[in-house]
Structure 1
Amino acid sequence: MSEEQLFRQTKLKLAGYYTTVMSLILGICSVAIYQIEAYNQKQSLHRELVSIAGTLHDGLEPVLTRPGQIEPEVERLIPNLCIVVTQCHSLGSVPRIHTLSVFAQSGYYVNFWDLSKTLIATTQPRLNSNIEPNSAAPFLANHHADVYAVTLKLKTVNGQAWGYLEVGRSLEHSQAYLQTLLLYLSIGYPIAVLGIGLASWWLAGIAMQPVADSYEKIQQFTADAAHELRTPIAAMQATLETALTSEGNTNPEKQGMFQTLHRQNLRLNGLIQDLMLLTRLDLNTTPPHFQPCNLNVIVSDLIEEFSAIALEKSIVPALIAEDQLAVIGNEEHLYQLIGNLIINAIHYSPDQGEVDISLQEHKHMAQIKVTDTGPGIPDDAQARIFERFYRVNQDRSRATGGTGLGLAIAQSIAQYHHGHLTVVSQIGLGSTFILELPLARAHPIWPGSSRDQSC
């Protein structure tokens, strides 16, 4: 994964996490606001109806003389009262001595029930809840689909049980208010989430900037350090080679010491070269020099180059090529990329093991598979196998002279060529490294490439 892709994905994850958490909190708050407002509406309506019912109760009981009978004084107190048994006759000349202000508004109604729970009179037949009153408790709330009501018992002026009074109100206004609130929340929530997402992306960029700057400084330091080490390492190499070839140096002990230093110096020089290459690929400062390259030729050359090493372990690498595959790339880098995979397979395969290399076209990509019969890679290590300086087996890697940069370099080169490198492995059954690169016909002309050149 390139530096740009790494930081973009990290930035995207940070923004995604922040947006998800904030959206969840905002969603919970929106639901809570709706539920609280619905509860407040219900409680407010309940208190209002209880107050109205209490006022009517206090005004009615002094004029009630017979249980279940509507007195003329009741009709004067409550306007538009419909006596059910007389099919809602008109009050005619009965003067109205008292009218509660709420009954001038639409949506309110009053019902009178006798002791047998039969409806006697009502002010709004259309809003009748048709819910029989319950004598278990005063001010009992009756919540129907379209109305909300409270009931309480009435007594006559002599203290006898008269019946029940029900005061209710239509929920149309309350439901309309809640639907409007729900509409605003439904429209506002996605807009708020979009705003949170944009703000999260901006904040994630600000948070990632110091990390990106530090990462770039580390890369630059690595490049500068590797570059500065080249001169003293080259001087040491020249001095050791001179000492090894000097005719006056006949002491076997000194020869062995110089040879050890020479080997370690070569290893250190190789490590420096690898670090410089990785840094150039990360900083994208390597000149492209892309040209058409035949993968069949490259793989054949590498098999021949490593044949001596393979024969020492009685291994004969086998090449299976279905087609002639060509890609646009840097010849030196492609040799190093595929060579790292082949030499890695040879080193980790046991004596008389098998190393198979296959070339084929797969989904408009040139696919190279390098399979070995080595010990395999654990599942938890497969995710880290392409990290720098990571070794699955420390002792074995050091015995083969590895630095832990081979697969990291291979992955960087693959990504530099717009390809990717993956591994499939099982313990005891070996490993298969799969390299996929864009075919030449898929990218006929790349920056820095030329058609008159060939690997």
Structure 2
Amino acid sequence: MFTRSRRNLAYWFALSMGGILVLFAGVSYYLSVEGQLQAFDQALYKKSKAIASGATIRLHRGQWQIEPEEAPWLGSDRLSRSSDLVYVRWYNAKGYLVRFIGLPAPIRLTAVPEFQTIAIAGSQGGEPSSQWLRQITLPLLQNQQLVGYLQVAEPLTPLRESLDRVRLYLALGVPVTLGIIGITGWFLGGIAMQPTRRAYDQLQRFTADASHELRAPLAAVLSNAQVGLMSPEDSAQQHLRLEKIVETAKSMSALISNLLFLSRREGALALESLKPVDLVALLRSLIHDQTAQATTQGLTFTSQLPEQAVTLNADPDLLKQAVTNLLSNAFKYTPSGGNVQLRLSTTSRHAIIQVEDNGIGIPAADLPHIFERFYRVDTARSRQTGGFGLGLAIAQQIITAHRGRITATSTVEKGSTFQIELPLKG
């Protein structure tokens, strides 16, 4: 699925960028043709004006006559080798040929006074070929009166050679660039699909783990209910089975609540939903609630809190749940007789909450994964303690929603320290 999606992304990227490239190449070639042709026409026009200015025009027997001047770069009957012109022709006011140099000229002028591109037949290497010329026909005026025409032609060979090079560059460059665009699209498609792939893989793992976690308690409820429906037992046994069903149902309810929390609490909390919270007062109330559990498990639970208030913008219920999850985790994995400590300190910009224990610790290989959903360092031991592997994931999501950070350090058989950093109220 992801390979097909990546291929489609690369295809559409290459198609769109390729279309833009082809359009750009076409426009560039058109502008190049227009620009070079305009420069060519301007040069030809200047040459034609120079030839026209050298002609002598005089009135003879009531008619204007044109007497072309022998320019040093024009021969008497043909153009010199140093000239780029193919022919020069003079016509009188009625359009009849007066004189020409270069290629033979028609007796009657047929072209209109403008630039024209024409082809003349010729041969090259014994094979018939055509030569393309750029021709200009200028009207000659004397005292605002038309006295004749000057027609000059120059080969388009330099211009055509230049445009051939442009076409060659485009013919080679466009396919190569399209190939590079395709490769780039495939690479960018892979990068773009990575978050989707990770989200899809995470969703698959999340669904599989959730299904697995729900299957076990459902099986327990079903088995106890089925036994209860069999032959009557004494009331004590029946009461015990009902208690197991209730306990399992509560466990399933807690799991579902945690899953719903994780699915609904994505992203940072809106600033308007936060309110000023005294972190010292919040932790003191939490210590009062958790001391009984620590005493029941034979643990020593101590705290270090500053005397002055530490104020920040937060959701107090969510923040309390995050710290409770860390304390519950410490209580679960600290043997009887161990110590758990809750500390609060501040820096210039952050409030720092630390939960430290001297329990069993976390192996270095597992430490980077402990905040992942359903992750357990020791599956058998976690099942005995009743955990689903969601407490730390929920704590991390709450702290991240408060624009904070949660980290952990641990040494096996020596204990763990979880640290929360939260921005102080500005």
TM-score range (shorter-chain normalised) is 0.3 to 0.5
Which structure dedicates a bigger proportion of its chain to strand? Answer: 2
TM-score, normalised with respect to structure 1 = 0.45
TM-score, normalised with respect to structure 2 = 0.48
Q: Which is bigger in relative contact order (C-alpha 8 A, separation at least 6)?
A: 1
